Each structure stands twice: as C-alpha cells, then as structure tokens.
C-alpha cells in the first residue's frame, strides 16, 4: 500500500506552525527553530508534513542523501504512527531509512513510542556547543586570557561602534557578506552558507531575530544573528566578521552576548561540522556542555 503523505515546501507563513510544535518541549538542539529550517531549506531541500499531530521534516543533501528528523510531537501526538508512516514513505521511494539530529531527549521519546525499532550511532560532528552566557560576556579567568588579549588588541587598534541590526543597516550587512564572499573559493559549503546568511538577513524582521554589528572605519565589519531557542537558551545562527581586523570575531562574539543575551543562562553556538578550524575555535570558548547528536537506523538493517 502506497502511503499518502504530502511534504510541503517551507515558507515564511509556516513560522507559527513550527513555533507551536517546538514550544511544547524543552529542546536544546539548534535544528529545532523555524529560522534554522527556513534559512537552510534550499541547500538541504527541507520540507514538512503534519502526521499524527507530529511535525515531520524531511531533507535531502546532494543528489541522493535522503533523511528525516525525529517527529516533533504536538499535544495529542501519535509518535508511533508518524514514525511508521515516515519509514513507509522512505521505503516506497527507495530511500534508506536515516534519521538525523536525534538528541538524548528525542531518542528517549522514540524509545518510548517505538521501542527497539532504531539503533543509534553517535554523530559528534553535529553536536551543539553550549556556553554560559556570563562566560562569553565577561571572559573571566585564565582560560579566557587569550580571548581577552584579542579584544584588548582590537580596542587599541580600532575605533568601533556597536549597533543593533535593524532596517537601518540590514542592507549594509548584506553587502558586507557579499563582499567577503567574493574573496572566497566558490566551494559548495560556502555557497550554501551564503544562501542561509542572506535568507536570515533579508527576512530578519519576519523571523523575529536579534542582531548586533560592529562598525569600523564607517563600514559594517562584523555582525551576528540569533534568537531564543528555549526560555533559558539563545542560539547563534550567524556570526560573520572581516578577518582583516584582528580580534573582530572575538569582539562581535562578546558584544553580541553582552547586548542581547545577558538575561539568558546559556548560549548555543551550534555545531562544528567536523571542520578542524571551527572545532578548535568553538572549543577555545570552553563549552559547559554539548548537545550530543545521533543518527538513527532501523535496528533490523
């Protein structure tokens, strides 16, 4: 029997649907925000359907890597129905059954709804780095000595102003991103990132993001965008800086945290994707915890 499921393209008008489902539980994984799903929808071919009162999201990377996220349950959800229909949909289309972005919380929900159906393998390249907001703001102690040095050198070298991202400077942020990308090799990963960053900037108000920027020599030279992931955790979706200005990344990191996130306990700075340079940079800020991720496969296969 062919399963009758229609997966819809993600549009801005779908934000209330995603926000509703994500708000019903205390998720800490960076994937589970509408902004993340929306700005990456094209590079990862993300689509969704509501099955058994669960938000079900599928994706495709490249030509043939198909996957789905754990169903996000509603108030009257039937997780088992959603899971089985997703499996059937994938099998009928000839796709391997692969579930990405599984966390300890969603793994527990799956084990309760469909016990023993999946085996889970760790996916450390997609673990989220979580920091105390006060650590990123104040940079206290020996472990942040180097970060303070970078910022002190920045302060001695440049005259800057911090400003909130708004309609007044969005276009400047867009132009800064486009200008920086001109000097990069046109590899797929960076092109995907550019698409996501521009989507976030061009839909800044509709996505209800917060943003901060550094202006040096009359131009925007760094900016960061984020939002609340849950009541006690912010997530940083975008952080870009002109590396010609020494310490620019350290400065926008600290200033954005101070101006926008001093009232939350944690800041999630997403994953390192297994990139050595990014991994070193994220570890250098000393996360207080990691949101561990798993990939799920059918136990029988």
Query: Where are the domain boundaries for CATH 3.40.630.30 in the chain?
Result: 8-127+293-298, 128-270
CATH code for the part of the protein at 8-127+293-298: 3.40.630.30
Say what the pLDDT of residue 286 is.
98
Q: Which CATH superfamily is domain 128-270 in?
A: Gcn5-related N-acetyltransferase (GNAT) (3.40.630.30)
pLDDT surpasses 60 at 179: yes
127-168: per-residue pLDDT in tens?
A: 999 999 999 999 999 999 999 999 999 999 999 999 999 999
pLDDT (average), residues 108-120: 98
pLDDT surpasses 90 at 186: no
pLDDT surpasses 80 at 1: no
271-293: per-residue pLDDT in tens?
A: 999 999 999 999 999 999 999 99
Q: In which band, very low, low, confident or very high, does the pLDDT at 300 lie, cut at 50, 70 and 90?
A: confident
pLDDT (average), residues 256-260: 98
* Least reliable range by pLDDT among 39-43, 62-66, 142-146: 62-66
List Cβ<8 Å contacts ≥24 apart for 199-203. 199/38, 199/39, 199/42, 200/35, 200/39, 200/225, 200/237, 200/238, 201/170, 201/173, 201/174, 201/177, 201/225, 202/170, 202/174, 203/12, 203/38, 203/39
Q: In which band, very low, low, confident or very high, does the pLDDT at 185 lie, cut at 50, 70 and 90?
A: confident
Say what the pLDDT of residue 3 is.
58
SS3 sequence of the chain: CCCCCCCEECCHHHHHHHHHHHHCCCCCCCCCCHHHHHHCCCCCCCEEEEECCEEEEEEEECCCEEEECCCEECCCCCHHHHHHHHHHHHHHCCCCCEEEEECHHHHHHHHHHCCCCEEEEECHHHCEEEEEHHHHHHCCCHHHHHHHHHHHHHHHHCCEEEEECCCCCHHHHHHHHHHHHHCCCCCHHHHHHHHHHHHHHHCCCCCCCEEEEEEECCEEEEEEEEEEEECCEEEEEEEEECCCCCCHHHHHHHHHHHHHCCCCCEEECCCCCCCHHHHHHHHCCCCCEEECCEEEEECCC
pLDDT surpasses 80 at 215: yes
pLDDT (average), residues 166-189: 89
Q: In which band, very low, low, confident or very high, does the pLDDT at 246 lie, cut at 50, 70 and 90?
A: very high
Q: In which band, very low, low, confident or very high, does the pLDDT at 182 lie, cut at 50, 70 and 90?
A: confident
Say what the pLDDT of residue 81 is.
96
pLDDT surpasses 90 at 181: no
Q: In which band, very low, low, confident or very high, does the pLDDT at 187 lie, cut at 50, 70 and 90?
A: confident
189-208: per-residue pLDDT in tens?
A: 788 999 999 999 999 999 99
């Amino acid at each position: 029997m062919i399963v009758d499921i229609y997966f819809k393209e993600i549009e801005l008008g779908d934000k209330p649907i995603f926000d509703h489902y994500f708000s019903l539980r205390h998720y800490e994984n960076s994937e589970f925000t509408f902004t993340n799903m929306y700005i990456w929808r094209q590079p990862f071919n993300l689509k969704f359907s509501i099955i058994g009162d669960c938000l079900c999201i599928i994706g495709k990377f490249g030509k043939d890597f198909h996957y789905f996220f754990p169903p996000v349950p509603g108030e009257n959800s039937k997780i088992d129905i959603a899971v089985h229909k997703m499996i059937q949909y994938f099998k009928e289309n000839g796709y391997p059954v692969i579930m990405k972005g599984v966390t300890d919380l969603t793994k527990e929900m799956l084990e309760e709804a469909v016990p023993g159906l999946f085996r889970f393998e760790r996916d450390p390249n997609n673990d989220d780095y979580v920091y105390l907001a006060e650590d990123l703001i104040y940079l206290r102690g020996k472990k942040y000595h180097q970060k303070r040095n970078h910022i002190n050198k920045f302060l001695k070298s440049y005259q800057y102003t911090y400003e909130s991202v708004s309609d007044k400077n969005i276009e400047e942020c867009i132009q800064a991103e486009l200008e920086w990308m001109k000097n990069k090799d046109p590899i797929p990963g960076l092109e995907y990132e550019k698409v996501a960053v521009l989507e976030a900037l061009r839909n800044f108000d509709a996505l209800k993001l917060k943003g901060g920027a550094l202006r040096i020599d009359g131009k925007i030279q760094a900016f960061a965008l984020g939002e609340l992931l849950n009541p006690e955790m912010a997530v940083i979706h975008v952080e870009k800086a002109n590396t010609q200005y020494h310490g620019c990344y350290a400065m926008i990191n600290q200033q954005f945290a101070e101006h926008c996130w001093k009232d939350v306990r944690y800041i999630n700075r997403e994953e390192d994707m297994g990139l050595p340079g990014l991994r070193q940079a994220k570890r250098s800020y000393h996360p207080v915890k990691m949101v561990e991720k798993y990939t799920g496969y059918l136990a029988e296969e």
